[in-house]
Structure 1
Amino acid sequence: MKVGLELYSVRDALAKDFEGTMTRVAEMGYEGVEFAGYYERSPEDLRALLDRLNLQPAGAHVSFERLETDFAREAEFARAVGFTYIAVPWWNAPDEDGWRAFSKRLGAVVEQAAGLGVTLSYHNHAHELTGQVDGRPVLDFLLAEHPALHAEFDVAWIDAGGGVPHDYLACYADRTPLLHIKDYRPGPVPVPLGTGEVDLPACLEAARAEWLVIEQDSSEGDMLADVERSLNWLRAHLNR
């Protein structure tokens, strides 16, 4: 499994100094990155920067609205940068009928993915575990409704929602190309890996993903220092 960084983690630093922050990420030893916005760079510029820094493009988070409006354009951009994994990063609905309506819209996007050469995933938060449709968690409902949809499980949010992350990883092992590895302490408060309450060793034991993607939504201190600390923890526990 390769180790990448979800760039949403360092969004503030990227906004101030995109190339400098990307260089710092590469110097830490990350093998790749997952995009969460492209900071007005062309795919050619991004590809050149990644090549120069010896970083691989793991994938990207792209809003559902953008995929629904022009998936072909997003897929073309992705292929030009050099990746084919795209994840829907967020959705919420007020009730079961709202989730059923979203599922219908999602189905139309899922149908486009294969023809565009894209592997489409859904990235969960806690509310897809606490919310239910037909007596089962929303996350399970969406994955059952759309067999061609993959999962970008976020282990901390599964845990925060009352689920067991490693059970999900085992159940959907063949549908999880990218896995968000994350930790938190009660609140939930995002923290570097190994300093919170998620059973990360069990998650790593169950993981069969191509990419382990470190993400930390916010930091109480220096985010760059936090994601470097997380990388060091993960390396030690992967025996690398």
Structure 2
Amino acid sequence: MKTRRGFLKQLSIGTLGMGMLPTLAWTNTNEQQFGVQLYSFRKAMAKDPLMTLQQIAAIGIKEIESARSKKGLYYGLSPEEMKTACVDLGMTLKSGHVALDDNFQDTMEQAVASGQEYVICSSMPSRGQTVDNYKKVAEAFNKAGEACKKVGLKFGYHNHEYEFESENGQVLYDVLMDNTDPDLVHMELDLGWVIVGGKDPLDYFKKYPGRFPLWHLKDMNMKKRESTEFGKGGLDIKTLMRHQEASGVKHIFIEQEEYASTPIESMKHNMAYLRNL
């Protein structure tokens, strides 16, 4: 494990080598801050989390959402180490993808130690595609939200495409929305998976205004049903960005799981795309 002093020394040297300051020259406090879901860099984070965070910071990312891996919630770093690394690089660890399972108490304790605000259940804890199951899950989410609120955290849920399937004319995601307490369950809407599921995010902004404090901004190749660089897929990013207020979004995390070349080059493209909107 690298020491913090060693990491800072490495950062100082690496900054000069990467030309970090010119890269960051365009950012300022008046611009919208964008985050990234670290699953986008999953292989690099597993190999060298500190150096990967440095590279992420160098392209202007300001907020981080972690994702659990085989090495734990923070890719082998302790919660405190993850928090410190982000702060040293001018970023904020804002959220984390977790599982709602028997280890959830430990998950909450680690999240508190890391200083993050949100813990987001990354997928359905049970995959029964029925209204009854989604009502049961909604009840479990409300209880998890209560537990998180007691320790100063906010609980949420991240969708995929399957939640937009229907049973007896009822869209299952809508069942989840209608049976969760907005004060306890904070939805992270993955915009890419919404359109793959055959729905329009704008319709959800209208039906459930203010219910989506977090976004996953993810363009999608609709033929392959996989993520792609911004502007290359079926997501109308420009229109969605004009409807942030209706959705209630506070934090926008870019996520990309497949790449034209490398994750860092794709993320540079995505950031440049957002700058030019």
Task: Give the TM-score, by structure 2 length.
Answer: 0.78
The yes-or-no answer on 1:192 pairing with 2:192 is no
Q: Note if contact 2:34-2:254 (Cα within 8 Å) is conserved in structure 1.
A: yes
Match of 2:177 in 1: 143
DSSP-derived class of the 2:252 partner: strand
Letter in 1 for 2:95: G
Distance 1:110 1:169 in 2: 22
Match of 1:45 in 2: 81
Give the unaligned 5+ runs of structure 1.
Answer: none
The yes-or-no answer on 1:235 pairing with 2:261 is no
Q: Which moved more, 1:21-30 or 1:34-43?
A: 34-43
Q: Note if contact 1:36-1:62 (Cα within 8 Å) is conserved in structure 2.
A: yes
Distance 1:132 1:110 in 2: 25
The yes-or-no answer on 1:118 pairing with 2:153 is yes
Match of 2:219 in 1: 183
State the identity %.
Answer: 27
1:53-64 map, 5 Å: 53-64=89-100
Match of 1:215 in 2: 255
The yes-or-no answer on 1:108 pairing with 2:143 is yes
Q: Note if contact 1:5-1:32 (Cα within 8 Å) is conserved in structure 2.
A: yes
- TM-superposition CA deviations, 1:85-124 (whole Å, max 9, x none): 1111111523314334433333332332222222111111
Q: Note if contact 2:129-2:172 (Cα within 8 Å) is conserved in structure 1.
A: no
Letter in 2 for 1:172: Y
Larger % of helix: which?
1
The CA deviation at 1:39 is: 1.2
Q: Note if contact 2:219-2:230 (Cα within 8 Å) is conserved in structure 1.
A: yes
- TM-superposition CA deviations, 1:21-73 (whole Å, max 9, x none): 110000001011100021121122112111111111121111122xxx24343
Structure 1 residues 132, 113: CA separation in 2 closer, same or farther (over 3 Å shift)?
farther
The yes-or-no answer on 1:158 pairing with 2:198 is no
Q: Which has the larger radius of gyration?
A: 2
Match of 1:203 in 2: 240
The CA deviation at 1:134 is: 5.4
Give the unaligned 5+ runs of structure 2.
Answer: 1-31, 69-73
Number of residue pairs matched by the alignment: 233
The CA deviation at 1:183 is: 0.3
Letter in 2 for 1:141: V
Distance 1:128 1:199 in 2: 21
